[in-house]
């Protein structure tokens, strides 16, 4: 039985403990069913601009970004309808699609190091965000470490998006 690189990364990261601004990494297998069930808000968004410019480039992979990205909300799948959202993050020069089969049970490649969350977004791309309120009261994607909480979508017909819609609708 061959060991895949993703399994090695899961063991390494699950055995380590990192902290972020809101929650910490846990050593449990990600459940996509739990992700959908526990998210307070699920939205499809497009990142459009920096709301706060980056100050420290070393924060990209080592912790919660010091910059913030403004998103236009294209679709609300669950939760209150909001026109826009601002979250910690950085611009990415390249796409960062999940390399696992949908429905995902592991974060996209950009979140497999450092903070246990993917912090980068491709400007004008589309992302599916699973949000919860942090202790501060602000919405965050950093609530379920190593989970696909902010995956980049290929299109409005992306398999991950379609699967999540069905889960929310109970079909």
| pLDDT tens track, the chain, 171 positions | 344 444 434 433 443 333 344 445 654 678 999 999 999 999 999 999 999 999 876 655 556 789 999 999 999 999 999 999 999 999 999 999 999 999 999 999 999 877 889 999 999 999 999 999 999 999 999 999 999 999 999 999 999 999 999 999 987
- Provide the residue range defining the domain that includes 16: 5-169
SS3 56: coil
CA-to-CA dists, residue 81 to 38, 42, 73, 84, 141, angstroms: 18, 10, 8, 9, 17
Note the pLDDT of residue 167: 97
Residue 94 corresponds to which tokens in the numbers above?
A: 């390249």
Note the pLDDT of residue 61: 54
37: how many CB neighbours lie within 10 A of its CB? 10
- Distance between start and end Cα atoms, the chain: 35
CATH at residue 82: 2.40.50
Note the pLDDT of residue 59: 59
pTM for the full predicted model: 0.82
CA pair distance 127, 16, nearest whole angstrom:
27
Note the pLDDT of residue 101: 97
DSSP for 9-55? HHHHHHTS--B-SS-B--SS---HHHHHHH-SEEEEEEEEEEEE---
What residues pair up with 170 in beta bridges, in sequence order?
none
Q: How many domains does the chain have?
A: 1
């Amino acid at each position: 039985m061959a060991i895949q690189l993703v399994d090695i990364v899961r063991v390494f990261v699950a055995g380590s403990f990192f902290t972020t601004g809101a929650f910490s990494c846990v050593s449990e297998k990600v459940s996509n069913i739990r992700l959908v069930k526990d998210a307070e808000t699920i939205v499809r968004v497009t990142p459009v601009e920096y709301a706060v410019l980056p100050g420290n480039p070393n924060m990209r992979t080592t912790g919660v970004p010091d910059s913030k990205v403004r998103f236009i909300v294209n679709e609300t799948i669950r939760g209150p309808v909001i026109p826009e959202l601002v979250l910690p993050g950085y611009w990415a020069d390249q796409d960062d699609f999940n390399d696992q089969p949908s429905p995902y049970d592991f974060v996209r490649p950009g979140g497999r190091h450092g903070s246990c969350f993917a912090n980068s977004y491709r400007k004008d791309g589309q992302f599916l965000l699973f949000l919860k309120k942090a202790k501060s009261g602000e919405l965050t994607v950093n609530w379920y470490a190593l989970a696909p909480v902010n995956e980049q979508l290929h299109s409005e017909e992306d398999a991950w998006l379609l699967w999540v819609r069905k889960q929310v609708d109970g079909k």
